[in-house]
Copies of this chain bind each other. A is one copy, B any other.
Amino acid sequence: MIIVMQQGASDAEVANVVQQVEATGFRPFINPGVERKVIALLGEVDIDKVQLVDRFSTFSGVERVQLISEPYKLASRHSHPDPLRFELGLHPDATRVTIGGSELVVMAGPCSVESEAQVVGVAHAVKAAGATLLRGGAFKPRSSPHSFQGMGLDGLKLLATARAATGLPVVTEIMDPHDLDEICRYADVIQIGARNMQNFSLLRYVGETRVPVLLKRGPGAKVSDFLLAAEYVLAGGNHRVILCERGIITFEDSTRYTTDINAIPVLKRQTHLPVVLDPSHATGDSAYVPSVAMAAVAGGADGLIIEVHPDPSKALSDGKQSLKPDQFSVLMDKLRRLAPVVDRELQAPAASLA
């Protein structure tokens, strides 16, 4: 941490800061700058540094305080130099999948679970095209209270039925901590939605389980906030976290969100956790999903999560951004050609879509 003093800070102000630094256990180190003095904190003290930044910022004569190291430790690549690989699909009915390695992991399925026919049908279709996980929402976060809110527990059961039929592990979202036990029973991967990325209470509950977590980036969250949110889950002892970029909110309005493609290499550099991208939410328009999916994989993503619906015009949510099974299959063929260019493999498609 460094403390930058204001230009013209008095000797008394500097002396006070030095004394306060000493009181924390750090050794203060004054850089005698010509324009401004800068005080560095040396040593290793077990103290909340984020809070310290805030506190030193209030002292008289201080211009600003900066952390030199990241505020997240568990999510940082410094403590885990190698990329993390782990298995998904611990449920007996599931076929296991490894994320974080050379396997390109594609999770696909409908935004919302709507019926057995729909979810089992889509599961077969996406599996045939080469997807290895099934996504589907039973509890849906909707901007309006008047919109369809999901099938709830019945939806979870239908996802389990689809898993039994296809072997695809299931990714589904949690919204309410009261549903934790039920979701842990049915899901192979628990999704934390973008709007709950800083629902710290929910992050803690999920961190206490040992079910892998797909953490979606909040549309207004910086990469550093995103990693701190992951830190909440990791701090509970659950170290199997997948980070999901799904678009950020910007001034651009030709798409629903702006895909932060830069975040792919940034995250791969800063953390050992696997990174996937959701082109469906990040664009909001199925016409743009294939381009952005290809871009994500070429840019280094470990996987994708894509909305697929048998009949998007009848979807109860987010139909506009859903691919039809045949469009998804065409995309998967392109991804299969792309994968080896970036040293990845994508599962071969099943013999037929029928």
Contacts and interface: CB of A to CB of B under 8 A. Distances in A.
Interface of A: 2, 4, 7-8, 20, 29, 31-36, 38, 40, 42-44, 48, 50-51, 54-59, 66, 68-69, 71-73, 78, 141-148, 175-178, 195-196, 198-204, 218-225, 228, 231-232, 235, 248-255, 258-266, 268-270, 282-283, 286-288, 291-292, 294-300, 312-320, 322, 334, 337-338, 341-342
Contact of A338 (B176, B255, B341): B341
A34 to B, nearest CB: 5
A199 B200 contact: no
A68 B33 contact: yes
A317 B222 contact: no
A341 B294 CA distance: 10
Contacts of A291: 261, 264-265, 268, 298-300
A319 B141 CA distance: 34
Given A58-B319, A66-B66, A250-B251, A42 B50 contact: no
Given A34-B44, A196-B199, A260 B252 contact: yes
A58 to B, nearest CB: 4
A251 B249 contact: yes
